[in-house]
Amino acid sequence: MRSKITLKELAKILNVSVSTVSKSLNDSPEISPQTVKRVKELAQLHNYRPNPIAVNLKRSRTGNIAVIVPNISNTFFAKVLGGVENEARKQGFQVITYISNESLDHEQQITELISAGIVDGLLISVSEETQKLQDYEHLHLLMEYEIPVVLFDRINMDIGIDAVGVNDRGSIYEAVTFLHSQNLKKIALVCGLGEIGLGKQRIEGFTDACKDLGLSTDDKYILASKDIPEVKQKLNKLLVEDRVEAIIGLDYLSTLLASRVVQENNIRIPEDVKIIGYVNEDFASYLWPSISYVDQHPVEMGEQATAMLVKRIKEPSVKTPARVILNTEIRHLDSTRSK
């Protein structure tokens, strides 16, 4: 029940001034070793902890960083959050989490809230809506208030803000190159997504890779539509009539769909068809057969973004925006094993 003891109370017990106690605990060379010892012993005894609120007020910092993720149903962002946690702890910051639910409005409310001075900096992966409307004023406003901002993952825009992401074009290029190296010629791309920008980048990368490697770039190999039954039917045809040898799934649904359709046709994975998907580690490895996936290093992304933000917080003077692009890697599970 002992309520927290304060500097003042310690000082009173020891019959010294508050300044002396404060300095002793902060190992100031001004204070005699004996006094330091006495003070520290008593502090230990009472389990004294400086009130962080008071310390922060004095230092005019908060010790917090905010992170806004667009959604949390996706384990990708959960993992990024884990990385943010790691690095923040190391650097002595607490992480305050917000979820924008893919809404610009919500995002603006959050930035408005934190502009009051709750945090020393912000990590954000902008919402779909924000990205679509290209409205980044709330972020610039924050920076005007001298609260540094670092973008992560969704960074396909040029708005002069620090950013950490992955090389989306490169990642699929690598996937195609790998499949090609396995002597696979007919590679299909399946995508059930819409707007998000990443889709486009990946499709471009796919086409480029096919061109460069001398593979067919026939449109029929690219199944991109939100109409799942249609995609399914077309994929079916590709498998049976065209004897497609590999499939790249750009998202959860299409990867799962691909695995499914292949098996319905009694085609073997990976012997007859190989699959690589843009899915998360957990998901990929839980499936049977497990699906080889593109590792986008979410944890590292969170760590790097946090490190970048902390650097900004500590050196607010630097002006040119930084940009870190992580290289993705293919993690091979059942669906790409060699025969």
Partner DNA sequence: CTGAAAGCGCTTACAG
- Considering the complex, state which of residue 213 and residue 253 has its C-beta at the smaller distance from a copy of itself: 253
**Mask: binding to a copy of itself, 32-71, rule CB under 8 A, as x and -?**
-----------------xxxxxx-xx----x-x-------
Tell the smallest beta-carbon distance from residue 18 to DNA (Å): 5
**Mask: binding to DNA, 48-77, rule CB under 7 A, as x and -?**
-xxx--xx-xxxx-----------------
- Member of 16, 18, 25, 96 binding a copy of itself (CB under 8 A): 96
32 binds DNA (CB under 7 A): yes
> Which among 107, 163, 165 is positioned nearest to 135, based on CA atoms?
107
Integer Cα distance of 22 and 36 in angstroms: 10
**Count of helix runs (H) and strand runs (E) in the chain:** 14, 12
Site for a copy of itself in 196-255 (CB under 8 A): 252-253
Q: Are 188 and 240 in contact (CB under 8 A)?
A: no
Q: Are 141 and 287 in contact (CB under 8 A)?
A: no
Give the DSSP H or E segment for 207: helix 198-212
> Which among 135, 127, 129, 133 is positioned nearest to 72, based on CA atoms?
127
Task: For residue 92, count other CB atoms closer than 10 A to its CB.
Answer: 8
- Considering the complex, state which of residue 237 and residue 260 has its C-beta at the smaller distance from a copy of itself: 260
Tell the smallest beta-carbon distance from residue 263 to a copy of itself (Å): 8
75 binds, among DNA, a copy of itself, none (CB under 5 to 8 A by kind): a copy of itself
Q: Are 301 and 324 in contact (CB under 8 A)?
A: no
- Whose tokens are 């384990």? That residue is 75
2 three-class SS:
coil
26 binds, among DNA, a copy of itself, none (CB under 5 to 8 A by kind): DNA
Tell the smallest beta-carbon distance from residue 113 to DNA (Å): 15
Part of the chain binding a copy of itself (CB under 8 A), chosen from 141-149, 207-215, 317-325, 326-334: 141-149
> Which among 255, 101, 241, 261 is positioned nearest to 190, based on CA atoms?
255
Alpha helices by DSSP H, listed for 64-190, are 75-91, 104-114, 128-133, 137-144, 168-181
Part of the chain binding a copy of itself (CB under 8 A), chosen from 8-16, 90-98, 178-186, 316-324: 90-98
Strands 292-295 and 329-331: what pairing?
A: antiparallel
- Member of 17, 97, 177, 216 binding DNA (CB under 7 A): 17
- Considering the complex, state which of residue 53 and residue 240 has its C-beta at the smaller distance from a copy of itself: 53
18 binds DNA (CB under 7 A): yes
Under the rule (CB under 7 A), what is the footprint of DNA? 6-8, 15-20, 22-23, 25-26, 29-35, 49-51, 54-55, 57-60
